[in-house]
Amino acid sequence: MSIGQTLAGARREAGLSVDDVSAKTRLRATVIRAIENDDFSLCGGDFYARAHLRTLANLVGADASALVAEYDATYGDPDEVPVATHVFEAEAAGRAITRRTERRAPNWGAAAAAMVLVVVIILAAVELIGNGGDSGNTPVAKGTTSQTTAPTSPTPSSQPTTAPTQPAPTQATSPPESAVAEAGVHVVLDITDAKCWVLASASNGSVIFQGVLNPGDSKTFDDPRKVSLRLGNAPATHLVVNNVDIGTPSSKTNVVDLSFGPGDPTQAQG
């Protein structure tokens, strides 16, 4: 049987309609019907055709590796498209790059906490200095009380001296929460109910992550100035950027390019 016939048969055995598969994978029903008819022109290229085959095969219980290998042998371009083992090697390399980048990424949350701690220490020191100045005037106040209760009126020389006025301590203000939130870019990417190919880049153009993520996977990307994303199956993703939940990116196609900077993510989507 052909690739499309194998997928269609497995789908029927699983008791699923084309619309059921579309709802579970977020792939358009027209694309699914075309693949079941061995027409891969709507997939957008060999890479996405392989991704769609793996997604459909895993859902209906077919052998995804065998179908991808058959696609490579029948439709793939050996001069342009790497074989499946090379794809897995690229994904492993991408995961290694992500781990190294995450180790090198600055911890903006810790820096903000340290800043707040320094401000608190300064405020405490100023308060202690102010209290010390007040306590220095206490003996003079006591002397005044004893003289005013004496039987004789105090002479001008025995009048209590007025304590010098202490200048009001300068109150240091904590940095506003918005300044802490805008200290860099923090992106959390969650994969919902279908696989998605992801390419994440830093502000200097270096690759933070590249590979295919499975449903339930979550990735975090940080950069001082900018994080750029390319999502191969955007309807299967959920984003939280700079602590703002922006949900699933809206798009007319599965492939979406996004970029985020510090601050309000709704003003920075690409």
CATH number, domain with residue 15: 1.10.260.40
Task: Report how far residue 199's alpha carbon sits from residue 237's, in angstroms, rounded to the nearest whole number.
Answer: 13
121 within some domain: no
Instruction: For 195-216, write each residue's pLDDT tens digit.
Output: 899 999 999 999 999 999 999 9
* Sheet order of strands, 237-241 included: 218-223, 185-191, 237-241, 244-247
Query: How confident is the model at residue 106, as a pLDDT?
Result: 57
148 within some domain: no
Which residues pair with residue 198 across a beta bridge?
Answer: 211, 231
Task: Report how far residue 240's alpha carbon sits from residue 228's, in angstroms, rounded to the nearest whole number.
Answer: 14
92 within some domain: no
**Token output for 213:** 């993520």
Indicate whether 228 pLDDT > 90: yes
Instruction: For 138-196, write each residue's pLDDT tens digit.
Output: 444 444 444 444 445 444 454 555 555 555 555 545 444 444 345 799 999 999 999 89
**Token output for 264:** 């309000």
Q: 31, 63, 81 — which closes off a domain? A: 81
166 within some domain: no
Query: How confident is the model at residue 246, as a pLDDT?
Result: 87
- Split at pLDDT 50, 70, 90, the class of 127 is confident
**Token output for 99:** 């781990």
Domain range for residue 8?
Answer: 3-81
**Token output for 130:** 């102010």
Query: How confident is the model at residue 5, as a pLDDT?
Result: 94
Among 97-106, 162-171, 241-250, whose mean pLDDT is lowest?
97-106
116 within some domain: no
Provide the 3-class DSSP secondary structure of residue 233: coil
Mean pLDDT of the chain: 77
226 within some domain: yes
- Residue 47 contacts residue 90 (beta carbons within 8 Å): no
Q: 36, 65, 81 — which closes off a domain? A: 81
Query: How confident is the model at residue 62, as a pLDDT?
Result: 93
103 within some domain: no
210 within some domain: yes
Domain count, the chain: 2
Q: 44, 59, 81 — which closes off a domain? A: 81
> Can you list the alpha helix ranges (DSSP code H) found in 78-225?
84-104, 108-136, 138-148, 177-181
The CATH number covering residue 208 comes to: 2.60.40
Global confidence as pTM? 0.35
| Percent of the chain residues past pLDDT 90, beyond the cut | 43
Query: How confident is the model at residue 172, as a pLDDT?
Result: 46
Instruction: For 49-100, write each residue's pLDDT tens digit.
Output: 999 999 999 999 999 999 999 999 988 766 554 444 444 444 444 454 445 5
- Taking the CA atoms of the chain, what radius of gyration do you get in angstroms? 33
